[in-house]
Structure formats: C-alpha cells, structure tokens
Structure 1
Amino acid sequence: MSKESAYVTLLTNESYLPGALTLAKKLKTDLKTVHKLIVLLDKSALSDHSIELIEQVYDEIIPIDDKLINAPLAKVVDQLGREELSITFSKLLLWNQHNYDTLIYLDSDTLPLKSLDGLFEKYKDLKSTQIVASPDSGWPDIFNSGVLILKPDPEVFDKLIEFSATDNSTFDGADQGLLNEFFNISSSGSNWLRLPYLFNVTPNYTNAYQYYPALLRFFDQIHLLHFIGKFKPWHAEDILSSDLNNFHNFWWADFNKFYTTDIKSKLLSLPKGEAYNLKFGKYTNAWDSGINPDFISALPPSYSQNPPIFPWEHKEERQPTRVFDDPPSSEIDDSTPVDKVDAKSKSEIETLSSSLSSSKISTKSPPLSKSYGFDKTSDKKFNPDKSLEEVAKLPLKFLTKHKQKKDDN
C-alpha cells in the first residue's frame, strides 16, 4: 500500500491563526489541491473556537502538546537547559510523520498564488537525507525554512534530534539555522536541492536585497509569497498604501473572499505575534542619573528638576519689544455696571448697534496696506492687496492652461 503525500503547516499560538486558515482555504478552494492538508497543532495554546475553525479546513490535526514536543527533544532541553527551544524545534517533528511519503511544508504566513501539486511528482524520488528549499533572500547560500519538501523518515528524525543536542547546532537559535547546519553546511550543500526563489518569494519592505527589475520580469511566475518579519498582512489591511509592491493586498483579497465579517472581526482581534509579547524595562537617559542634589537645589527657580543639557534649553526670559497699540488702561473702566450707564452713552450704543445690523457700517477688514507699516523705500513699491488678488487667480490660471493643453491634444 503506497503512502499519501500531503501539505503540512505548523501552528503553536493564536497569533498566526488568520494565516493558517487563509493558507488552507487558498489551497483547497482556489488551487483545488488533491492532496491532504495537515496541521501540527499545539491545542493548549488555542481557544476552542479557534480549534473548530482549524478543524473545518484541515483534513488532519496532529497534536503537539508539551509532552509530545518535549519527549523527543528531551536531550536538547537537558543539554542546553533551554526549554523554549522545544517549541522552536517542533518543526523537526515533520520527519517523524512516517505515515506519509512526501510532505510539502508551508509556514502559516505563506500564500500560494499558483498550484504547487506538481512538486510532489517532480520530487517523488527525493531521498530522506535530502531537503528541497528555496535560497534565503538575505543570504542565498542558506535556504529559507518557510517552504520545505521532505521525506519523513524515523532514522533521519532520530539523527536530527541527536544533532540538535550538540553544541552550535543552530547558528541563528532557531530551526532555519539547525536545518541548514544538518542538510546544507555539514554536507557541503550536497543534501540541499535548490527550489527556485519563485516558490518562496519574501517581500521586503526595507528594500534590502530586493531586486526590483527581476521582480518585474518574473512577477507573473511567482508561485508563493512568504510574509517574513514581524508585520503580517492581518496586522493591518493597508500596511504601506503608497508602496506599489504591496504584496499584502494579495493576502487580504483572499482573506476577504474566504471569511465573513463576523469571523474576521474575531480573527483580527488576535495578538500580533511573538515580538509584541516582549517586555522591556523603562530606559533612562544617562544625564538623568548621578546628579548631585546640592547642585539641583542651587539652581535658579526658573530651571526644571533636571539641569539644561542641550543648547535650546538655555533660554532667557525676555519681555516682548513689540506690542499692539491698545488704548491705555486708564481709559478703560470695566467697573461701571451696565445699569449705571448714562442715557447719552446708551443712546450711542443703540445707534451703533442699529447701524451694524442694517449694514450701514462696513465690517470689512481694512486693506493690508493699512494694517502694516512700510518704512523702507522698496516696501512702498509693494502693494499687498494687488499681490493677494494675483495669487488668488493662480489656481484658475493653472486649470485654464491645463484644459487648453488637453483640448489641443
């Protein structure tokens, strides 16, 4: 009886759930794969509702709770004393799925754009000691572990576990460094079969290592996008609206197509990923500490708690040298109650109010030339009112010129 081949992904927390669900929907609904979908799932890290959503789209769930993860990696924990590496190295469990012939592993933050089913036939004769993967855009002599084609084998699995317990088994502290050490570096690259970069394109928004002419040349041949980095498509619908190469829109187009509003609202309220769980202590500036209290108490009252450090902090308080020509305060008397105003003043106020309401007195501001003084000879040649009128006409002139040019064409 021949063994089946399958796609498999890994999900160890809620933060990557939108990616895992969209990945499965894309493979089944759009790309019509004939192969099974498997997920290595840490159920203890997901809610019951999230597990139900996973069960709806994946054909098989392989639980990887703490006991199953720690059991094969006990030597790693014992030797390195780092229990957190158990989750990091859980991808090694792929080689322990010996019920399957060939597995195509896809990270849950990947999005296939074209069918990948042909890869099963192409690599049907792959040896269990070999691995198929695309070069990493950051260092092409190393493969990226987000897309892998492999043959599960218990002997290779045991060797991987043994290897992971050795010193310097991974140069980056994670599975990519470990798998490259095992399949690539230690064998001088003979066990790594290079998959074209088109099957694991990693959009890079810092433009580092991104070869845009090649991207444009081969764009229609891209088979899969891999959203590396801490910002995933589901973190923001329009992460870079001005970026013409905004690949996140591809993910959102599929996500919106596959899931209704009520499901989306629940999924998008999930945490944003491991990087957001890091806790940092409050940092203080070097100049905020080690200051002699006696020195602070001797400072003038106008100084703040900390002495000025930068040039712009050494400010002197100066009185303004220019003020508006308000009437002297002696001419203003606000103490007189309204009901004590004499009849003559009341009459003048009523006349002024009546004039304003009937628009007999202009409330228009005085011309600019009257509002400012022009002392220089050159200033007197400048007419601000006329200039303001000319500036106001500029937009109309531009539009007229544009329309005339358009009509001529």
Structure 2
Amino acid sequence: MTKAYITLLTDESYLAGALTLAAALRHHGTIHKLVILLTHEALSSDSIDLVHEAYDEIVPIDESLIQAPLEGVLSKLGRAELSVTYSKFLLWNQTQYDQLIYLDSDTLPLTNLDELFVEYSGASANQIVASPDSGWPDIFNSGVLVLKPSTTVFEDLLASATTTESFDGADQGLLNEFFNVASAGKNWIRLPFLYNVTPNLGQHYQYLPAFTRFFKDIKLLHFFGKVKPWHLRDIVSSDTANFHHLWWALFNKHFSDPKVRARLLQRAPGEGYKLRFEKYTNTWDEPVPGPQELAALPQLEEQEDEIPSVFPWEQREHVAPTRVFNSFKSSGPAETQRVHSKADSDLRKNIESLSLVKIGSKKPSSLLKNYHFSEEGSFNPDQAFEEVSKIPLQFLSKQNKKNSK
C-alpha cells in the first residue's frame, strides 16, 4: 500500500509552517513520503524552490483550487483566509495513494506518527479519523486527518458543498456534516486528543491539571488561530504558555541560514493596511515662524497679577534665612575679605592658638604624653614634624635598655 503525509499550502503566509512541518516529520524518522498540495501562482520562485527541497512530491492545485463562499466564512468565523480551506476536499482525489495522513501546516509533530497508518488501516473511504475539537468535543478538528482517497467520496463532497451550508463557513463545518451521517454509512472515528492538541491557554478553556498530567504523552501540537509561532520574531518573544518555543527550537535547528530565515519569517501585510487614517501633526513639528510672522501676531498684554501657584511646593510659606554663609564684603578695589559668622571666627582663633610644646619630664610615663597642645604661642609645622619623627627612635631606645637589663 502507498502511504504518505500530506499538507496544503496556498500562500506565502504559511510557508514557514509548511517547511517546519516537513522538517519535524523527517526529524522524527518517518519512512513515508511527504506530499504537499501547492498553489504555485501564490508563491515566488524562491519559495517554490524551498518547498521542492522539503517535500518528496508537489501536487499543483492552481486550476482545481476549491474555495468556500467568502460571505459564509466572514459571517461565521470572521476570517476570510479560511475560504480556501475547501481545497482539503482535493485530498480524496489523490487516488494514487491508498492512505493519507493530512496535517495542517501550523501543526508540529512531537514524535513519529507512522503508527497511525497501521492502526487505522482498516478504516474505509467513508470514514474519517480525527481528534475531537477542544472548543466543542462532539465534533472533530480538521487539522489532523487519517483518510483513504476515493473519487466517489470526492465527488460527493463537492456535491455536498453546493447543497449543504457549513455551520462555521469553512471546511471543518462541512466535513463534520458529511462524515456524521450514520444512515449513509459515513462516520467519524475518534482519534485521541493527544494527536491534535490545541494549547491556546490564554484564549480558550483548557483543563490545566489534565494538560500537566498528560503533557509528556502529547503526539502533536496544533497552533490554531490567527497568531502563529512564526508571526513572532524569535523564541525569546514567543508565547511560552502556548508552547511556541517548541516550534522555534525545531525551526532554529533546521533553518539557520540568515537569507532563508529572512524569507520565511517575512510577514504579509494584514487587513489593517487597507485602513485610511487622517494624518495628524504635533505642534512642535510645525515650522518656526519668522520675524514677519511674529510681528503680525497679536501682542499679549503684560499680566500684573501674580501667577497662581500650581505645585504643592509652590504653596508653602517662604521664610527669610536667619543666617547667611559665605557672604562677601569688599574693602577696596584690590582686596576682598570674607566676613564670617561669630562661630566661624571663634573656631578659627582656637585653631591658630594651638602649639605643640614638649614637657620637661626626664622620665615620662608615656612617649605620647611628652607632648600636649597649648594655647600659648603659635603652631610651627616644621618643629612639630621634627619632634614627632623622634618618637619611634625614642621608643626603640627604651626597648633596647629594657632588653639589656
């Protein structure tokens, strides 16, 4: 039996996801072919070259692209980009394969998934294998599917698209309607949630204790929603709570070339670029008026009234200082003398009156007691230095005399 993994790429915005998905499948050692349904006209030649390097087979779908009614997608989901998801119906037209595992390009396998080919090999073309959707577990999420291609089922899906309204405006709503008709022999086989975990912890309800308990058993992460890991600039700025760092770890490992990274991480303009805003300017950005313009402006009358206080410290009572330091008084054109306060004057007199005088005791009890400060005479720095320098010699002489005794 011919088996393959298959995904869908219809524009540049999901290129980084599609290439990282292929890298993840090969990283985990799959033995099966990697196939991609590709819209060539929506991608540049450089992007197509990257896709050729990553996938074993490319199936062009430019002329057979199937889109959902845009009005339905906008009214139900508010996301026009999902109108192209009806192209998933082309999966059942790939009859060159006996069995396919379809993965959205925003999914990240965390382990080898080849076991699914064996476990669900007995499912018929009228059955679809998929995990329950975390938002409403009674329906399945169409991001991960195990299926058997069939021309009959493909034609029935096309016919159903013209007669049945998708309850969400996209492929997931219509596929759930199609494969939940037991009377027609079509049914959904539940795949464990571990194979399609949608960890939007910050936006939707999540059973956190169970998430923590079974995290090590998760087989695949599905980054559904508008914000994808590659929309963020790097692993540092990525949302760890949504496990974007796991996607970035694999992306950084397999895409280290700066030119390739720059191409993959470039973002297409969002819907906001269509909006038109009135341009505003700042007052400080306006041209400075010249002398003529200033003269033409009406002159403001001088205000004689005191400007009212605004800040709290402006409202405090101002008290005149009672003591002034460092004031100066000139006694002549060539001389300036400082006028000190009484405390400063007294301190200066006390310092100048100090002098170092030797005590005439022949046997001082202590070398340091040979000297004391006196208010008589004046202070001589040279004499003081000479006397103090003798202290160590006198101390050594005293010690020698003790030792000789």
TM-score scaled by length of structure 2:
0.64
1:277 alignment counterpart? 271
Give the whole-Å Cα distance in 2 for the aligned partners of 1:133 and 1:184: 12
Contact 1:69–1:86, Cα closer than 8 Å, also in 2: no
**1:215 counterpart SS class:** helix
Contact 2:36–2:58, Cα closer than 8 Å, also in 1: yes
Q: For the structure 1 residues 81 and 114, does the alpha-carbon distance in structure 2 shift closer, same or farther, using more than 3 Å as the test?
A: closer
1:132 alignment counterpart? 129
1:164 alignment counterpart? 161
1:307 alignment counterpart? none
Give the whole-Å Cα distance in 2 for the aligned partners of 1:191 and 1:235: 36
5+ unaligned residues in a row in structure 1: which ranges?
285-316, 328-341, 352-409
Deviation at 1:281, TM superposition (A): 4.9
Q: For the structure 1 residues 177 and 78, does the alpha-carbon distance in structure 2 shift closer, same or farther, using more than 3 Å as the test?
A: closer
Deviation at 1:206, TM superposition (A): 1.8
Q: For the structure 1 residues 185 and 205, does the alpha-carbon distance in structure 2 shift closer, same or farther, using more than 3 Å as the test?
A: farther
2:149 alignment counterpart? 152
2:217 alignment counterpart? 221
Tell me, yes or no, if structure 1 residue 17 matches structure 2 residue 15: yes
**1:141 counterpart SS class:** coil
Give the whole-Å Cα distance in 2 for the aligned partners of 1:189 and 1:318: 87
1:182 alignment counterpart? 178
Give the whole-Å Cα distance in 2 for the aligned partners of 1:103 and 1:349: 103
1:101 alignment counterpart? 98
User: Aligned residues, how many?
Assistant: 293
Deviation at 1:268, TM superposition (A): 1.2
Deviation at 1:325, TM superposition (A): 4.5
Deviation at 1:68, TM superposition (A): 1.7
Deviation at 1:277, TM superposition (A): 2.8
TM-score scaled by length of structure 1:
0.64
Deviation at 1:271, TM superposition (A): 2.5
**2:16 counterpart SS class:** helix
Contact 2:101–2:144, Cα closer than 8 Å, also in 1: yes
1:306 alignment counterpart? none
Tell me, yes or no, if structure 1 residue 41 matches structure 2 residue 38: yes
Give the whole-Å Cα distance in 1 for the aligned partners of 2:159 and 2:335: 105
2:24 alignment counterpart? 26
Contact 2:6–2:34, Cα closer than 8 Å, also in 1: yes
Give the whole-Å Cα distance in 2 for the aligned partners of 1:15 and 1:227: 14
Code of the aligned partner of 1:264: R
Q: Which runs of structure 2 are paired with 1:8-407 in the superposition (5 Å)?
A: 8-28=6-26, 30-65=27-62, 67-69=63-65, 87-168=84-165, 170-184=166-180, 191-206=187-202, 208-236=204-232, 237-239=235-237, 243=240, 245-262=241-258, 263-271=260-268, 276-277=270-271, 281=275, 319-320=309-310, 322=315, 325=318
Deviations 1:5-62 (A, max 9, x none): 100000111111111111101111x211110000001111111111111000100001
Q: For the structure 1 residues 142 and 324, does the alpha-carbon distance in structure 2 shift closer, same or farther, using more than 3 Å as the test?
A: farther
1:339 alignment counterpart? none
Q: For the structure 1 residues 281 and 265, does the alpha-carbon distance in structure 2 shift closer, same or farther, using more than 3 Å as the test?
A: closer
Code of the aligned partner of 1:17: L
Which of 1 and 2 has higher RCO (CA within 8 Å, sep 6+)? 1
5+ unaligned residues in a row in structure 2: which ranges?
75-79, 279-306, 321-329, 340-405
**1:40 counterpart SS class:** strand
What is the root-mean-square deviation in Å for CA atoms of aligned residues?
3.6
Q: For the structure 1 residues 79 and 128, does the alpha-carbon distance in structure 2 shift closer, same or farther, using more than 3 Å as the test?
A: farther
1:370 alignment counterpart? none
1:7 alignment counterpart? 5
Give the whole-Å Cα distance in 2 for the aligned partners of 1:149 and 1:258: 27
Deviation at 1:114, TM superposition (A): 0.9
Deviation at 1:215, TM superposition (A): 1.1
Code of the aligned partner of 2:210: A
Deviations 1:167-219 (A, max 9, x none): 42x01111111111111267699610000000000011325221111111111
Structure with greater Cα Rg: 2
Give the whole-Å Cα distance in 2 for the aligned partners of 1:254 and 1:84: 26
Deviation at 1:267, TM superposition (A): 1.4
**1:184 counterpart SS class:** coil
Q: For the structure 1 residues 347 and 228, does the alpha-carbon distance in structure 2 shift closer, same or farther, using more than 3 Å as the test?
A: farther
Q: For the structure 1 residues 345 and 145, does the alpha-carbon distance in structure 2 shift closer, same or farther, using more than 3 Å as the test?
A: farther
Contact 1:239–1:248, Cα closer than 8 Å, also in 2: no
Contact 1:9–1:40, Cα closer than 8 Å, also in 2: yes
